[in-house]
Amino acid sequence: MDNDDNEDLIRVHTSARLRVESPIPPPPGFKSPFKTLREWLVQLCNELPPQKPVSEYQFQLCYSSTESLIAFYGEHYSIEEGVPTERITFQPAHVFFPLPKNIYRKLSYSQLKETLYKELKEFTKTSEFKNSFLSKSYSINSNFAGEIWSE
């Protein structure tokens, strides 16, 4: 290639951007009306289906040494002004569930992730899940263990 012919060279600069929405955490001291993870999951299954498109559902673990929460919401992926965007298009009435300390606090972070994954995976085999709008979704993922369920 002849370096004297710079007219044929094009410099392309690209930058990666991504817009992502996350649910607003509940206030400190948040209390759930549900006693167990299973009760909360059954309530999620009894929600009305979303009115807006959902690309995937997401479980998000919010972990700290004093308290851990799990959140559930639906996201839709699109391109807005040339930028990949993840918007929350579905939030159930009870987005967050504080994990009971008597069960989950004694677990290490990796044990907690593994336990939650197994419990969520097992729940996808129940009649409550199979008869809900969630079983008709494309996928359900998590920020701590990847895919929980897919069609």
Question: What DSSP line would sit under 39-97, residue for residue?
Answer: HHHHHHHTSPPPSS--SEEEEEEE--SS--EEEEEEEEEEEETTEEEEEEEE--S--EE
**Sequence letter at residue 80:** E
Q: Residue 11: is its pLDDT beyond 70?
A: no
In whole angstroms, what separates CA 38 from the centre of its chain? 17
Pairing of strands 146-150, 139-142: antiparallel
Q: Residue 109: is its pLDDT beyond 70?
A: yes
Tens-place pLDDT, residues 48-106: 999 999 999 999 999 887 889 999 999 998 888 888 888 899 999 999 999 999 999 88
- Secondary-structure breakdown of the chain: helix, strand, coil percentages, each rounded to the nearest 5: 25, 25, 45
Contact between 59 and 120 (Cβ < 8 Å): yes
Q: In 3D, which of 69, 63, 147, 145 has the Cα closest to residue 109?
A: 63
Q: Determine the pLDDT at residue 45.
A: 97
Residue with tokens 């008597």: 102
> What tokens does 7 get?
């007219």
pTM confidence score: 0.83
Exposure string of 110-126, with b = 16+ CB inside 10 Å and e = fewer, is eebbeebbeebeebbee
